[in-house]
Structure 1
Amino acid sequence: MEKLANIESFVRTAEAGSFTAAARRLGLTPAAVSRNVKRLEDNLGLLLFQRSTRSLVLTEAGAQFLGDVSAGLSSIQGAVDRLASADDVPAGLLKVSLPIGMGMGQVLSLLPAFTQRYPAVQLELNFENRQVDLIAEGFDIAVGGAIELPQGVVARELCRIHVVALASPSFLRAHGTPTTLAELEHMTGVVMRSVQSGKVRIFTLRNADGEQCNVNLKPSVIVNDPEALCRCAVLGMGVTLAPLTQAAAYIERGELVRLLPAWHGEVGAVSLYFSGQRLLPAKTRAFVDFLVEQFRSRQLARRFAALPPSPKSQTGRRPSR
């Protein structure tokens, strides 16, 4: 009978499109995954992949074999997960993807309580500002915002992402405080380049009356991370538009001042992304429930929200042009 390791190496390679990505998920080296697939091909007497220096493509026989074995492999893995979770004790390696700014600034400080509560769970935390492929890259959970849901992945919202205008007290003393969006746009700005599109982000702000305006700051500094937006603004390098998930702590410490409080933008939600399978491993379920509980008990969704200002602060409308 064919070894399960060889079949799993083949399936994960087909899903990920490369031996390297499959190896990350399986905890093996790319060479080991390649050897497993080669053994499978030799034993079957069939070529499952067309290989080149740039690509790895399923042959017709490979595609047919993938369809035949994928469901069976999922059933076996499900049985293993159910057996491992039968006593409902979270245990094992949990691989988590986190954005750098929010991961370091907000989530990391919550995790000592998790590891204390679940000592048998080993956390592998990957901090990077990109959308990971949970299945192909072997992640159990990803924390992020505005991620498209691929098939088989579900999301559980933690908080909304509200963007507000900010500057340091020293910058405002030197340059004055803007009272309209037009004045804000004419000030030196710190802006962010999108990792996905490569373009400088332009945020749409709105007020309680339903008015909307695209705000184009005059960039003097361009960064690629929302935490860097806040730190540059704290250093007096310009006004900025940043999410409250990063900026709240700076505002509370008095290092940044929120400008034009009648206006804010909304750019989606911070959510937990994980497999949509009916029976989650206990370690995954425990992590999801823990973070949701922490955000609720600490009222973090409220802390990161641009709450409606009082009527007397409803200022800052852009003059008609």
Structure 2
Amino acid sequence: MKNLKESLKRRFSESNGGNEVRSPLRVLLRKEVAEHIRSWRFIILLTLIVLTFIASMYSSLSNIKSAFVATDNSSTSFFYLKLLTLTDDSIPAFHIFLSFLAPILGISLGFDAVNSENNNGSLIRLMAQPLYRDNLILAKFLAPLLIVAILFFSLTFLIVGYAMCISGIPIEWQEVVRILAFNGMTVLYVGFWLSIAVLLSIRFRQPATSALTAIGIWLFFTVFFQVVINIAIKAFIPDPNYLSADKIAYYNEVILNILRISPSQLYVDASTTLLMPMVRSLGPVSMEQMAGAIPSSISLRNSLMLVWPQLSGLIAFTLLLFAVSYALFMRREIRS
């Protein structure tokens, strides 16, 4: 806290004009990043990242021959995209791995963002410094997101770079953009769960309560939400044996739209479309729509247009949760 106070004073003395608003945020970002990096929590998360890298590398190396054969038999290669999606069924694919790991990272980095400092008495001392409350809540949200972004981009680049050194196959520009978009989608997915964790850390006083609540929300949307929807659908939808093909397709579309309330479903749809250019639709397709279709990959622009509803949904949910956290923290009374 003493170092933070001296750093803030030095920043204010060196700043002039428009830099005065940005300087406290930069100081708080450095403080939050340093605290995360020096904590045991970061070491555990880094260990998870390394284990994910080893498992994904093992799966990639075991499927590198099949990916090369699939590349030779296709009109467009996308070798490195196949390398990130193919699996030998012993472990999940890389993007499936991240769909389980990303919420854990977001929750673990944000469940005690505010209540831990409030419990140990450092929040009142922090607010006594020359900074605004919005700078503090922004730093609590942006610092973990910055760490997660560096970890995910480093992990993906390590996998692609190692495979490039082994195979010697040059990477295409579409693959680079798709991989970067996939990583950006993953960081946004982590940001959604991070915003939930930060909100719960403001709402509950004990870190254990906020952590258990966040884990409960994650388990509900990941495991139980689909079970509840299937049970409810069976109770209201008629017997499929008495429905026409159009009615069955309509009900399947309704079920899929309801399942997309879950953020995990939005992430899986978006990541699958970005990493698999052969995916043309995320919903049920009739035989009439498939007639005359050429089995080829779609362009990057069409893939981005296809996943835009999922992307905008995650952005909207994340901003909404962060706005609620911002409002609660700005109206909260902080006492010594």
Fold shared, TM-score > 0.5 on shorter chain: no
TM-score range, shorter chain: under 0.3
In terms of fraction of residues, the more helix-rich structure is: 2
**Which has a greater percent of strand?**
1
